[in-house]
Amino acid sequence: MKKQRKKYERPLKKWDKARIERERKLLKDFGLRRKKEIWRAEALLRKYRRMARELAAKRDKEKEKLLIKKLAKLGLLNENASLSDVLSLTVENILERRLQTILTRKGLANTPKQARQFIVHGHVKINNKKISYPSYLVAKEEENKITVQKGGE
């Protein structure tokens, strides 16, 4: 069995006021349940930025294209983006691609909390496949295939 690893790191400074305020605003704006979800998005962003820096140093064009293609598929970048665009990504960009946020932005749910509830209760399907994780990163082509079953349908 594969060893489970944490997908996030806690902040180094526990009581940094600016960070705490920024995280509180993100929690409210995106309807997140706990700060661990922000830290997980930050870790994912760190991973992609680290890969971009390494590829810029190596000047490996094929791997650059693969990274940009993957991020474009997720809807974080355009197809004709560069490595500097990867380095300019923010946590908000990643949080915008979560299923919970997309449901709210498309008007399928009134609030982020309601979107989260629909997802957790199993009312949301993508390509007729039930998704029960609010943190699911929605690919660009999946965005139009999201359906919500309200009530006893």
Domain ranges for the chain: 17-93, 98-148
- Please say if the pLDDT value at position 152 is more than 70: no
Q: Give residue for tokens 């629909």.
A: 118
Interval 130-147 mean pLDDT: 95
**Separation between Cα atoms, residue 43 and residue 9, nearest integer Å:** 7
What pLDDT, in 10s, does the model give residues 12-39? Answer: 999 999 999 999 999 999 999 999 999 9
Does 151 score more than 80 pLDDT? no
Per-residue pLDDT tens over the stretch 50-89: 999 999 999 889 999 999 999 999 999 998 999 999 999 9
Q: What is the CATH number of domain 98-148?
A: 3.10.290.10
Q: What tens digit of pLDDT does each residue of 101-112 get? A: 999 999 999 999
Residue 76: closest CA among 50, 53, 99, 95: 95
Tell me how far apart the alpha carbons of residues 101 and 44 are, in angstroms, rounded to a whole number.
17
Transcribe 59-100 into DSSP letters.
T-HHHHHHHHHHHHHHTSS-TT--HHHHHT--HHHHHHTBHH
